[in-house]
Structure 1
Amino acid sequence: MVPTIYKWSMRWISCSGCLAIAAGCSLAPKYDRPPVSGSATPFKELQGATPSLSSDTAPLADGSTWKTAQPSESIPRGEWWTIFNDPKLDELESEAALNNQNLEAAVARVKESRAITQTVRSGLFPTVNAGFGPTREKVSPASQFQPDGTDFPSQTLWRAQANAAYEVDLFGRVADSVQASKADAQRSEALLKSVLLALQADVAQNYFKLRELDAEIDVFRRTVTLRQQALELVQHKYREGDISELDLARARSELATARSDEMTVQRMRTASEHSLAVLLGRAPSEFSMAASPIEPIKVSVPPGLPSSLLERRPDVAAAEQAMIAANARIGVAKSAYFPSLILTGSGGFEAATLADLFKWSSRAFLLGPLVGTALTIPLFDGGKRKGNLANSRAVYEEDVALYRQQVLTAFKEVEDNLSDLRILRDQVQTQSEAVDASSRAEQLSSTQYKEGAVNYLDVIDAQRTVLQSQRAAVQLSGVQAVATVNLVRALGGGWGDAEATPLAPGMEESISVK
């Protein structure tokens, strides 16, 4: 025979389950992604290009096409930096993903948000606890259906009971809270991907900047060698009495200036190397990188279409999850206007002496709250609920505006880098021509100086022009590499239908949150 205490427990649980099934009607507005200007038109820098059609593209009035956005911010970006075909960069990216402390902090924030979600989700289930101990009490005659004046002595009762409580989610308060918490967790996950993408881009940019400075140092070293040779020539001519001491002083000044400029670039390289070490999660004293002058970057990144950008950018995904959370909290604020129902019960054993506590005749139970009522209806709160609802709606409106601004910023960043790369392609070619022309002019001026046809100022001007042209060419190579990385970053770390190389096992483990 099933004990009575378990019968009422099963009835209470069954009742709670039925009410839970009937409850949970959300009062939150239906969420729809707000429209964003510009998502259905091609990038300005690519309007001359014709995107390839696929089953999910639609023609526009001007004949161009755009791709309907499908949420895919959770798709792994893979090792996008391998497009540069640089083993050293591959090594640095792997190390940064394993050891960077900002990334570790972002992983911890994801764990925090998931723990909060678990805490909020617990409101969907009953709470059960047990207790044991004595209580001292005196009951009233009325509670025992006795006439006034009947005296019931105080007594000590020992109890061993289990208590349960459950809030029936009649109007979706708990469900909307869980939905908001889940959106917050997904936002933190998107922000983790954003931190990872920023880290990968920062490592690549610092690496290319370091190599650019190596190339500048190489230019200055070759310049110092040429200045040294020029000084030797001037000293010879001075000893022969062909020139005055003024030319000798100018030659020495140019040599010293070139050496000083080389030292300036070396200081910049040291600082850049230290910055890269921190990104790798290492102390600057523990990291050094061999010199490796940069080579021109010949990588073309297919940018895709604006609407697909909304799928890939993790910061855009984070902004949208903030909207979803704010929308759900409107439902939480609305539910405060409606009744709340909390079911409570306890059952176990109670007796006047500890020896009699666990006898079958000592069993007891209580259904309903000890204090107050199970069903509470809000009547007056001085405008608190109205203020909370207005605040929730205002927060949602703010998040909508921030989302749209984030999308516009994403479009701008892509357009900026597309235009940079377009102009840089021509600028690099033009600068290369300038280097050739200035080098030829320097050779001619040096020859004419040896023959006495020009003075030494002409030689100095020609040499300075060569140095400036060569240095500008090297800097443009660095700017081009950084702009390519910036474009990849602006595209969310992926592009179009191009296949991405999967992350290496060690890198995948470093950013996984369990």
Structure 2
Amino acid sequence: MITQYKKQTLAVLATALLFASCVTKKYQQPGLAVQGKLYRDTTVTDSTTIAALPYSQLFSDTVLRSLINEGIKQNLDLKTAVQRINEAQATLGESNAAFFPSLSVAPQVTRVKQSRAALNFPAEFVGAFPLSTTTYQIGLNMSWEADIWGKLSSAKRAALASLLQSDAARRAVQTQLIANIANNYYNLLALDQQLRITEQTLKNRIADVETMKALKESAVVTGAAVVQSEANRYAAEVTIPDLKRSIRETENALSILLARSPGSINRSTLEAQMPYSDLKTGVPSQLLKNRPDVQQAEFAFRASFENTNLARTYFYPSLTLTAQGGVSSLHIKNLFDHSIFYNIVGGLTQPIFNKGQNKARLRIAKAQQEEAYYAFQQSLLTAGGEVSNALYAYQTAIEKQGSRVNQLKALQKSVEFTKELLRYSSATNYTDVLTSEQALLAAQLSSVNDKLQELQSIVNLYRALGGGWQ
């Protein structure tokens, strides 16, 4: 009889497992739905990528490396991301605990007093029975739900995906933090360089004013040239306060990234920077492995996929086992003396009419899964676009620097020649000098921006490829 019962039980469990495999689906990583290349105008087959480099190898400036180290340790956004990981770990632990039975202890004392009139005993029995009783009880309550349809397993996998999503989010914050620190640092160096150029230009133009005054006394130029030289001097001088303001604001922005109070930032110079030149992008499929935000989007899709599985299980019956046991007595001294009680109940709960909640839950889960899928596809396209933009920005910066050198040489000669002509020839006037000097200053400042574009495009390419968290 017992053997027959075991066979029936095994048959029921096997049937349940067979149906369970039809209820929930197995997750598969989605690929790129959009046709075409992620990297524009590239045919990369080499899997080597700068994303695999530690930032200490990408950046040669020891001061910058020190600032990045400080930022990773102190940045508040990064600390917040770590706490979100702790939250997700606790949620996963809660999902794991759902597989085990719940157990609680319930000590209880019950005092009952009945009315003599309510008992309606004959007069001869009055006093034979106590009207007040006290019951002492210590019980254990246990409840366990069998994971027949994969409800608990799907919830656990969703929690695990959320944990991995939180970890990917932390790594995404770190890669962005490194890029922000480096870009602000390079911007600070560029502003320093532009300030030095402008201050030197101001000194030169102050000297030009004195020269124009001397030439006017010699009747070589008119008073208009003197006034124009003074205006030219003030045109350079008025830009210095704005440069200093930009420097201070950039220092403050860097301080915030480092979780410091606003203050000055120790730094080197723009000329001392040695940009990393071996810029290998690897193949586009590596973005799935290297870009934390792409991984974050995929884990979000994975969590929504498991939530859809979870929503499906609500349409099927749940098997719950409950048990209660303990000791009970009217006298506390006899509590553990032959006073054991227990009961075990097993039951199936099949939803029939649930106010449309199960259908609505499934529709919501499917819609959220589709949203997460589109967000994942969008993250891949965005990543490919950022790689292409950063790479092209680097290429154009290099091209501009070659032409800029020639432009600066020509403008420097133009300034020198027009000044000489102004001294010894009436074929020119100070307007020619003014035009050439203004063009030279603009080209010098643009040259600094060219160098800044090169440095920042390397940083942006590194981040776009997913570097900085390894």
TM range (shorter): 0.7 to 0.9
Given that 2:394 and 2:453 are in contact with CA atoms closer than 8 Å, whether structure 1 keeps it comes out as no
1:230-249 to 2 correspondences below 5 Å: 230-249=208-227
91-100 vs 237-246, greater mean Cα deviation:
237-246
* 1:365 aligns to 2:359 (yes or no): no
Give the corresponding residue for 1:181.
159
1:225 to 174, 194, 203: 203
2:266 to 277, 289, 313: 289
* Structure-2 separation of matches of 1:443 and 1:335: 84
118-127 vs 37-46, greater mean Cα deviation:
37-46
2:45 counterpart letter in structure 1: P
* Structure-2 separation of matches of 1:399 and 1:484: 31
157-166 vs 172-181, greater mean Cα deviation:
157-166
Give the corresponding residue for 1:205.
183
How far 1:191 sits from its partner (Å)?
A: 0.6
Change (3 A) 1:263 1:170: same
Given that 1:45 and 1:419 are in contact with CA atoms closer than 8 Å, whether structure 2 keeps it comes out as no
* Structure-2 separation of matches of 1:347 and 1:152: 27
1:459 counterpart letter in structure 2: V
* Structure-2 separation of matches of 1:32 and 1:483: 35
Q: How many corresponding residue pairs?
A: 440
Give the corresponding residue for 2:297.
319
Give the corresponding residue for 1:36.
32
How far 1:37 sits from its partner (Å)?
A: 4.4
SS at match of 1:374: strand
Give the corresponding residue for 2:3.
none
Given that 2:193 and 2:270 are in contact with CA atoms closer than 8 Å, whether structure 1 keeps it comes out as yes
Report the TM-score, using the length of structure 1 for normalisation: 0.80
Structure 1: 4+ residue segments shifted above 6 A:
151-154
1:27-426 to 2 correspondences below 5 Å: 27-37=23-33, 41=37, 43-47=39-43, 51-52=45-46, 79-80=54-55, 82-136=57-111, 155-285=133-263, 287-290=264-267, 292-294=269-271, 295=273, 297=275, 299-359=277-337, 361-368=338-345, 374-426=347-399
Give the corresponding residue for 1:482.
456
1:478 counterpart letter in structure 2: L
* Structure-2 separation of matches of 1:491 and 1:53: 12
Give the corresponding residue for 1:148.
none
2:412 counterpart letter in structure 1: S
SS at match of 2:238: helix
Change (3 A) 1:232 1:333: same
* Structure-2 separation of matches of 1:297 and 1:78: 14
Given that 2:275 and 2:455 are in contact with CA atoms closer than 8 Å, whether structure 1 keeps it comes out as yes
* Structure-2 separation of matches of 1:155 and 1:109: 54
Change (3 A) 1:395 1:316: same
Change (3 A) 1:23 1:160: farther
Change (3 A) 1:267 1:137: same
* Structure-1 separation of matches of 2:357 and 2:424: 94
* Structure-2 separation of matches of 1:351 and 1:173: 41
How far 1:298 sits from its partner (Å)?
A: 5.2
Given that 1:217 and 1:266 are in contact with CA atoms closer than 8 Å, whether structure 2 keeps it comes out as yes
Q: For 1:411-454, what per-residue CA distance to the aligned partner results, in whole angstroms no more than 9, with x for missing partners?
A: 11111111211222111111121111111111111111122342
How far 1:129 sits from its partner (Å)?
A: 1.6
How far 1:346 sits from its partner (Å)?
A: 2.1
Change (3 A) 1:40 1:310: farther
1:51 counterpart letter in structure 2: T
1:446 counterpart letter in structure 2: K
Given that 2:59 and 2:65 are in contact with CA atoms closer than 8 Å, whether structure 1 keeps it comes out as no
* Structure-2 separation of matches of 1:163 and 1:37: 52
SS at match of 1:202: helix
How far 1:43 sits from its partner (Å)?
A: 2.7
Given that 2:99 and 2:152 are in contact with CA atoms closer than 8 Å, whether structure 1 keeps it comes out as yes
How far 1:477 sits from its partner (Å)?
A: 0.7
* Structure-1 separation of matches of 2:415 and 2:357: 81
Unaligned runs of 5+ in 1: 1-14, 55-66, 68-75, 139-150, 495-501, 504-514
SS at match of 1:257: helix
1:462 to 411, 436, 446: 436
Change (3 A) 1:299 1:422: same
* Structure-2 separation of matches of 1:277 and 1:493: 23
Change (3 A) 1:53 1:356: closer
How far 1:214 sits from its partner (Å)?
A: 0.8
* Structure-2 separation of matches of 1:136 and 1:331: 49
* Structure-1 separation of matches of 2:341 and 2:276: 82
1:311 counterpart letter in structure 2: K
Q: For 1:339-359, what per-residue CA distance to the aligned partner results, in whole angstroms no more than 9, with x for missing partners?
A: 111111122211011121122
How far 1:42 sits from its partner (Å)?
A: 7.0
Give the corresponding residue for 1:499.
none
* Structure-2 separation of matches of 1:204 and 1:115: 35
* Structure-2 separation of matches of 1:221 and 1:230: 14
How far 1:393 sits from its partner (Å)?
A: 1.1
Given that 1:161 and 1:347 are in contact with CA atoms closer than 8 Å, whether structure 2 keeps it comes out as yes
How far 1:79 sits from its partner (Å)?
A: 2.8
Report the TM-score, using the length of structure 2 for normalisation: 0.87
* Structure-2 separation of matches of 1:42 and 1:127: 51
Given that 2:63 and 2:268 are in contact with CA atoms closer than 8 Å, whether structure 1 keeps it comes out as no
Given that 2:47 and 2:282 are in contact with CA atoms closer than 8 Å, whether structure 1 keeps it comes out as no
